[in-house]
Amino acid sequence: MDQVARAGRNREFREFAVICDGKDTIWNAAAAHPEFQDAVWILDFYHAAENLMKAAKAIFGDDEVGAARWHKKIRGRLLREPNGADSAIRSMRRYRKSLRKGSKACKVVHNAIKYFCYHRDRMCYFDFVSMGLPIGSGPVESAAKNIVQARLKRSGMRWSRSGGQHVLNLRTYLKSNRWDVMWSTITKAA
């Protein structure tokens, strides 16, 4: 959090994004940090597409080709249309009317609609891409594996929370090509 706050104070970035999956606990944890107040909040596109596929399978049942075709079309709208989430919601609502009330398929589509409505403001993928922001958490998850786990979870290693955080702070400077900037700041302060 200190690096996010420092980057914000120094205006190192025009904008920054918080990208999470659909779990409320994750969004609530992020919202608890004032450093993220001005962030652009983005629902990971993979999770949106995954929930859309659940709806597609429920709507089309055994028609895998129809489900794949609809999913591809609506997924494309999510990416390429300014109001792609609204388009997806309208389409799911239209198809839900044809499903038997109370059926498992109807409940799955209902839950997907609820998910899309709840996260609608975090699903403006057309706008996010236009702003040059990432729409997926894959790079962050990869960084967690390559930055954190590769360094802290080696055989026989044990870290205190504080000691591990110090190592990770240095490692993030190194891996993000900011080592020289960090080092010159330290030497100037000394």
Q: Residues near 19 by Cβ (< 8 Å), separated by ≥ 6?
A: 42, 43, 44, 134, 135, 136, 137, 140
- Contact indicator for 56, 70 with CB cutoff of 8 Å: yes
- Contact indicator for 42, 128 with CB cutoff of 8 Å: yes
- Contact indicator for 178, 184 with CB cutoff of 8 Å: no
Residue 3, domain extent: 1-136
Same domain, 33 and 124: yes
| Residue 108: band (very low, low, confident or very high) from pLDDT cuts 50, 70, 90 | very high
Q: If you count DSSP H runs as helices and E runs as strands, how many of each does the chain have, helices first?
A: 11, 2
DSSP 122: G
Same domain, 131 and 145: no
Return the minimum-mean-pLDDT range out of 77-81, 102-106, 142-146, 159-163: 142-146
Same domain, 14 and 43: yes
Does pLDDT of 12 surpass 80?
Answer: no
Same domain, 173 and 80: no
Q: What pLDDT was estimated at residue 48?
A: 96
Among 121, 136, 151, where does a domain finish?
136
DSSP 107: H
**What is the percent of the chain with per-residue pLDDT over 70, rounded to a whole number?**
93
For 157-167, write each residue's pLDDT tens digit: 888 888 888 88
For the chain, the domain total comes to 2
Same domain, 151 and 95: no
Same domain, 160 and 106: no
Q: Strand, helix or coil at 15? A: coil
DSSP 100: P
Same domain, 144 and 62: no
Q: What pLDDT was estimated at residue 99?
A: 96
Return the minimum-mean-pLDDT range out of 59-73, 78-92, 136-150: 136-150
- CA distance linking residue 134 with residue 115, whole number of Å: 21
For 76-98, write each residue's pLDDT tens digit: 999 999 999 999 999 999 999 99
> What's the N-to-C CA distance of the chain in angstroms?
24
Same domain, 163 and 113: no
Among 136, 154, 182, where does a domain finish?
136
Same domain, 127 and 142: no
> Angle CA(114)–CA(17)–CA(4) in degrees, nearest 5?
135
Same domain, 103 and 149: no
Same domain, 130 and 141: no
pTM: 0.76
Q: What pLDDT was estimated at residue 74?
A: 98
Same domain, 48 and 69: yes
Q: Strand, helix or coil at 63? A: coil
